[in-house]
Amino acid sequence: MSKKHLDRHVKEFIGRHNQRPHGTVNQMTVVVSGMIGKRLRYSDLIADNGLDSGARSI
């Protein structure tokens, strides 16, 4: 796990933890609704953004 993607890994596990009490269908609904209008291309993922850590500034 690289520092560049650490924030993404943490956000993923936070989301999973917060969805535990909900049923599977509700969990999948939240996941799919979060994907609408978003796209992550491989070229964007590996692009150098000039930050020392390689992380994205949002």
Residue 54: inside a domain: no
Q: Domain of 14?
A: 3-46
| pLDDT at 33 (0 to 100) | 92
Of 3, 32, 8, 6, the closest CA to residue 19 belongs to 32
Residue 25: inside a domain: yes
**Residue 10 pLDDT level (bands cut at 50, 70, 90):** very high
DSSP 15-48: HHHHHTTS-HHHHHHHHHHHHTT----HHHHH--
* Stretch 49-58: mean pLDDT: 63
Inter-helix orientation angle 3-19/24-35, to 10°: 140
Distance CA 56, CA 50 (A): 9
Residue 7: inside a domain: yes
Count structural domains, the chain: 1
| pLDDT at 55 (0 to 100) | 61
| pLDDT at 46 (0 to 100) | 81
